Chains A and B, each alone.
Chain A
Amino acid sequence: MSQTVIDSQQPVQTAAQAESQWRLFFRRFAKNKLAIVGALIFCALLATAIFAPLIATHDIYEQDYNSVLAKPGNGHLFGTDDLGRDVFSRLVYGARLTLQVAIISVGIAVLIGVPIGLITGYYRGVWDEWVVMRVVDAMQAFPSLILALAMAAALGGGFYNAMVAIGIGFLPSFIRITRAQVMTVRNLEFVQAAKAIGASDWRIMFRHVLPNSMAPLLVQITLAMASAIIAEAGLSYLGLGAKPEDPSWGSMLHIAQGYLNIEPLLAVWPGLAIFLVVLGFNLLGDGIREVLDPKLKR
């Protein structure tokens, strides 16, 4: 009888609690100026990526050999590159690739890393201690860019392989963070209560433990997106990511490297774009962390 009462009331309480927690989160977030700046930069990136065809002034593949390495002006807001392509339009379309990198590579890490961390952190035991965590330790021995380079060497270069490589590089940190959080949450009273009323392990893990372990994961997701953007730009700069004809900001830097003494501005724009977007994600991550843990606020 008592079990029926708890079962029927629990979803109502959880929903109400969740709503007030989200409201509290947004209220605190709205007061954090730096986080708002970060969110605005993210929205600007999103809008640029979605409306790229409307914002771009030229075809990004159109080559104009009469206007090679042109300075800003004459119909080209940021000038042209070594093949006479419009730099501004390529930057605008580059926002799409940047957003793809951030979402897909971090998505890979979250989709694989979070369930592994959740299950190993919940069940613990020999598998967790001696297999999963040792593999995670071994993966962490490879600096992420070296791991991405190794994967690029094995799978071949290219934009999509670069995203997979970067995503795999982030796996260890997501496994660790989820596992650590789950190990704390699994001993809390509400989890014991769920066990006591006979909830299955899967239900406890995905309905109770995971939602209550999300806070540090949310911060990690935002900060990992910033790192993913820099990593992709680095790989593309080395010629192991996007192809030179793709408007990736890293590829644009790769091209600009050859013309630093002739047209340095060619290197300035994509670098500034990367800096601004990464700064946005970092501000957002910091903001979310401060909102979730007000002790961190100065």
Chain B
Amino acid sequence: MRFLVRRLLLAVPVILLVTIMVFSLLHLLPGDPATVILGQEATPEAIDAMREELGLNQPIVMQYLKWLGGVLQGDLGRSLVDHSPVSELIWQRLPATLELTIGTFVVALLIAIPAGILSATRPNSWIDYTSTFFALGGMSVPHFWLGMMFIVFFAVKLGWLPASGYVPFTENPLANITAMIMPVLATGLRESAILMRMLRSSLLEVMHADYIRTAYAKGHKESFVIFRHALKNALVPVVTTSGLIVAGLLGGLVITESIFSIPGFGKLIVESIYNRDFVTVQGAILVCALMVVMVNLLVDILYAVIDPRIKVGKEAEQ
């Protein structure tokens, strides 16, 4: 419990710093933000109105506190393009991104776990060499290029899958799944490579431990030893990596969504940058960073559940 409280308390300054960094984004713009947003040809009246809208005439601390107050109430400001609430825009785009994130993660796990186990339990075999070769390739291939190659092969040449577009699952489940296959595979293959390597090296280390030899000596079957003893202990670094992968995925999906025209959260950020809609960029980046903080918090807690030594160790430090 003390570990959990301490971990939650540590997250508070981090979240505050994240808000300061995101807030500063508008003030990093070279020159007057209102002029940058409207362009040099804007009239002085329009620039004054924009400064008023963004609250730039107030002292910077007041601007931050006002903005933070709004954030705490779920108000992320209004889009500079169509004046709709940014939180609403994000809410509309979130389901597609979440679907893509979960799908990618499932694909990564479905490939990485069996490949990692087979590779670690049969070191130096052809299975090990093949999966290591694919893992190295998977880690090096840019996922957006893989996505483009999938479009060329599966959509243009074979015509099996749609090249782009998105249909919500609730509207047409089949169309949704066919549209998501390529984006999920393109991103998932790379992530599976990272996870597989991590699982393999972690399992290899565990498989040489005394208690594994003891388990074999007691006459247990290989599958029992792997799933009951080895895998559980090899999972700790994998869980940590999974947390990092989810965080990285949220960034990587920006490009995937752009390639496949998926109206997700990442595409919203890119569109807003093109439109100089900095209020939306600010809001979307804040939500993204907060999601990462939450995922990391969850990973740390999960981490302590899987390996109680971590919890005990942290508490003993105090």
Contacts and interface: CB of A to CB of B under 8 A. Distances in A.
Interface of A: 130, 134-135, 137-147, 149-156, 226, 230, 233-234, 237-240, 253, 256-257, 260-261, 264, 267-268, 270-271, 274-275, 278-279, 282-283, 286, 296, 298
Contacts of A274: 142, 145
Given A253-B148, A275-B142, A298-B124, A150 B255 contact: no
A119 B132 CA distance: 38
Contacts of B285: 142, 146, 149-150
Contact of B273 (A240, A268, A298): A240
5 contacts: A135-B17, A145-B251, A234-B144, A279-B136, A298-B123
A83 to B, nearest CB: 20
8 tightest Cβ-Cβ pairs between the two chains A and B: A143-B251, A271-B145, A138-B17, A145-B251, A279-B140, A154-B28, A278-B140, A264-B152
Contact of A238 (B10, B152, B270, B288): B270
B137 interface: yes
Nearest to B270: A238
B149 interface: yes
A274 B137 CA distance: 12
B259 A142 contact: no
Contacts of A149: 254, 269-270, 273, 285
A43 B21 CA distance: 39
B21 A138 contact: yes
A156 to B, nearest CB: 7
B231 interface: no
A107 B137 CA distance: 26
Contacts of B258: 237-238
B288 A143 contact: yes
B148 A256 contact: yes
Given A150-B22, A240-B270, 11 more contacts: A140-B292, A142-B289, A145-B251, A145-B255, A152-B273, A237-B258, A257-B148, A257-B259, A268-B149, A274-B145, A279-B137
Given A149-B269, A240-B273, A142 B124 contact: no
B288 A260 contact: no
A154 B24 CA distance: 10
A282 B139 contact: yes
Nearest to B20: A138
A260 B252 CA distance: 21
B148 A267 contact: yes
Contact of B152 (A145, A260, A279): A260
Given A146-B254, A234-B144, A267 B149 contact: yes
Interface in B229-253: 247-252
Nearest to B28: A154
Contacts of A140: 247, 292
B289 A226 contact: no
B144 A145 contact: no
Nearest to A152: B273
Contacts of A144: 248, 251
Contacts of B28: 151, 154-155
Nearest to B273: A153
B140 A275 contact: yes
Given A260-B152, A261-B156, A138 B14 contact: yes
A279 B25 CA distance: 34
B141 interface: yes
Interface string B191-214: 000000000010010000000000
A234 B255 CA distance: 7
B13 interface: yes
B148 A260 contact: yes
A156 B293 CA distance: 27
Contacts of B306: none
A145 B21 contact: no
Nearest to B266: A146
Contacts of B123: 298
Interface string B247-284: 11111101100110000000001101110001001000
Nearest to B190: A230
Contacts of B144: 233-234, 237, 253
Nearest to A239: B274
B23 to A, nearest CB: 12
Contact of A143 (B22, B25, B26, B250): B250
Interface string B1-22: 0000000001001100110011
A129 B87 CA distance: 34
Contacts of A270: 145
A146 B288 contact: yes
B17 A271 contact: no
B86 interface: no
Contact of A134 (B14, B152, B270, B292): B14
A142 B288 contact: yes
B44 interface: no
Contact of B14 (A137, A257, A267, A279): A137
A153 B278 contact: yes
B142 A234 contact: yes
B303 to A, nearest CB: 16
A199 to B, nearest CB: 30
A41 B33 CA distance: 45
A265 to B, nearest CB: 9
Contacts of B152: 260, 264, 267
Contacts of A147: 251
